[in-house]
Structure 1
Amino acid sequence: MLKIHEQIERLVKGEAPGPSPSFTASHIIMALLVLGDKGSLGRKRFTEELGIGEGAVRTLINRLKKYSLVKVDRSGCSLTEKGRELYEALREKVGEFVELNGNVPWNYRYSIGVKVRGMAKLLRMGLEERDAAIRAGADAAMIIAMQGGNLLMPGVSNLSEEQPSFASMIMSSFKPSDDDVILIAGSDDRIKALYGALAAAYELLGKKR
């Protein structure tokens, strides 16, 4: 999984020293997931899906084109074969985003989570993932691992035993298997919650076995 993380890092940094890009690793992953899930998109729709400014999207598209991951034609922007390979590798690990309604331990308007498959053994305490979510703009984050048939907040609690109704909601929403990790971010801004969850997932994907 480090291989995917390294590819994304290379895309963010580019090949030569220069000014910091106006996009992050999370924006690159979101771009790949959106195009992989939805197919060809016009620039306006693509910008709306990513939730960032037109200038940042233009720079992002140019970077992805430079690395032969996307192509742009009259029908819009779409993944190349190389881009689809990276998308499929991401989707093998990263599930769909799930927007949760109620029954979460905070009062923010939006709570968005994502499942990362087969990474619980690398999670440690989940502090790095939580911090990544906050740096990405989320106001709160929760990291949950599925281990031994139980939903655990590492070093904090066994949700399956201590908060069974919440655990049941998580199980029905994400359908995790053993060794999966669920990363949930909260904010009054939907885009910040979305990118908070994705930043936490990206942090986890960079862990070495």
Structure 2
Amino acid sequence: MKNALLCCVTFFRLDALYIHMAYRKTSHLGGPVPKFGDYHVWKTLYCIAKYSPLGRKSLAAHLKIGEGSTRTILNMLQDDGVVAINKNGVILTKAGLDIWKTVKMDLHAVRIPELTIGKCDCAVRVPGMAGNIKFGCEERDVAIKNGAMGATTLICSNNMLIFPGSYYPVDQKIENRLRDHLDIMDGDAVIIGTASDDDRAELGAVTAALETMGGLRIRRELDDLLTYRSTGSELLSLAFAIHDLVGGLPVCAKSRDNLGIRIEEGKVIDNAYTGAVLEEVINAGTTVRKTAMSGPYKGIRVIVTPIELDNKVIAAIGVVDIRSMAGVNNLIRLKSDDE
């Protein structure tokens, strides 16, 4: 394997970076990292279906993730034809309504202290998913991994709520309490997330429900945080991954239509950056290795490669080989199995 950066970007599918990019620790400086996952994309569809037309600021308030991340979600959904944005706000398109039907779930804040351990509970009805439930511990584990204290799973069999893996029925008072808020049908699953606050309870319940459904199946691009409009903050985690991979060498990145970032020594030192070689690679669509002729790295070797999606260049990312100034060649390498 010759070049660490080239190998990484060539073979590192963008959707495989999703978890790393969405949840990377914010120990580095230089602006916020977008923090959203399938839950927030699903909640976006839920809110638009429920409150449409909905303005971006109002949607951000519902999602509680900030307008920048909300804009990124809407851009991806709009690019995929799921939503339309007009002067009145955001609405679901016909394709979006069809998609929503496949992932539609009902949710409601409840209080079920007989079954849960947190101060706040959120119940989610997962239509027709009783057959996908095993023992309920799987949903509990997913909820915990996503910040909840736990989750209790029930299934509806013969129009009666029971605990999965047994025929033990739920107390009728508890069932009535759940049916007061959810239109539970035979074959449905009900997941009750529990946490110290409402937001974590809902996040745990919905994420566990999405896992039960097999995740959001909209298109692969909805798992990608990068587009040709991505900001420097949205490129941050990819850039830091490359920065770590090449032993701390400076890394620069920008999308096609936005200014980018420049990283040195584990910190963002410029969050509105562009460079001649970055622009050259975006226009040419091919990897470039050359000595920079201008900018902060003038006279230093750089290697820049395009990031493509659907055979279109959406961004470029590069490494500055400052160690070449000491006369050492071929430093950006990965050892082969034979070395």
Into which bin does the TM-score normalised by the smaller protein fall? 0.7 to 0.9
1:166 to 174, 178, 181: 174
1:132 to 142, 145, 169: 142
AA matched with 2:51: K
Give the number of the structure with larger relative contact order, counting CA–CA contacts within 8 Å between residues 6 or more apart. 1
2:58 and 2:180 map into 1 onto residues whose CA distance is 31
AA matched with 1:27: H
1:64 and 1:198 map into 2 onto residues whose CA distance is 19
Deviation at 1:82, TM superposition (A): 1.4
CA displacement 1:124-157 (0-9 Å, x = unmatched): 1122222222222211211001113432222467
Unaligned 5+ runs, structure 1: 1-12
The residue matched to 2:21 in structure 1 has which SS?
coil
Q: Describe how 1:167-186 pairs up with structure 2 within 5 A.
A: 167-186=175-194
Larger helix percent:
1
Q: Describe how 1:65-84 pairs up with structure 2 within 5 A.
A: 65-84=78-97
Cα distance change of structure 1 residues 34 and 156 upon mapping to structure 2, 3 Å threshold: same
1:117 and 1:108 map into 2 onto residues whose CA distance is 25
Q: 2:74: which partner in 1?
A: 61
Cα distance change of structure 1 residues 172 and 79 upon mapping to structure 2, 3 Å threshold: closer
Deviation at 1:63, TM superposition (A): 1.2
Q: 2:271: which partner in 1?
A: none
CA displacement 1:97-126 (0-9 Å, x = unmatched): 121135443453321111112221221112
Aligned length: 190
Deviation at 1:202, TM superposition (A): 0.4
Q: 1:191: which partner in 2?
A: 199
Larger strand percent:
2
Q: 1:205: which partner in 2?
A: 213
1:150 aligns with 2:163: no
Deviation at 1:68, TM superposition (A): 1.4
1:159 and 1:121 map into 2 onto residues whose CA distance is 17
1:44 aligns with 2:57: yes
TM-score (norm 1): 0.79
The residue matched to 1:159 in structure 2 has which SS?
coil
Instruction: Give runs of ≥4 in structure 1 deviating > 6 Å.
Output: 13-19
Deviation at 1:172, TM superposition (A): 3.6
Deviation at 1:175, TM superposition (A): 4.0
The answer to whether the 8 Å contact 2:112/2:174 transfers is no
1:86 to 87, 99, 106: 99
Q: 1:27: which partner in 2?
A: 40
2:161 and 2:185 map into 1 onto residues whose CA distance is 10
Deviation at 1:25, TM superposition (A): 0.9
TM-score (norm 2): 0.51
The answer to whether the 8 Å contact 2:131/2:187 transfers is yes
Which of these two proteins has the greater Rg computed from alpha carbons? Answer: 2
Q: 2:234: which partner in 1?
A: none
Q: 1:99: which partner in 2?
A: 109
2:162 and 2:16 map into 1 onto residues whose CA distance is 43
AA matched with 1:151: L
The residue matched to 2:115 in structure 1 has which SS?
coil
Cα distance change of structure 1 residues 103 and 57 upon mapping to structure 2, 3 Å threshold: same
1:175 and 1:103 map into 2 onto residues whose CA distance is 21
Kindly, what percent of the aligned residue pairs are identical? 27
CA displacement 1:5-39 (0-9 Å, x = unmatched): xxxxxxxx867968724321111111111101111
2:14 and 2:21 map into 1 onto residues whose CA distance is 10
Q: 1:9: which partner in 2?
A: none
The residue matched to 1:52 in structure 2 has which SS?
coil
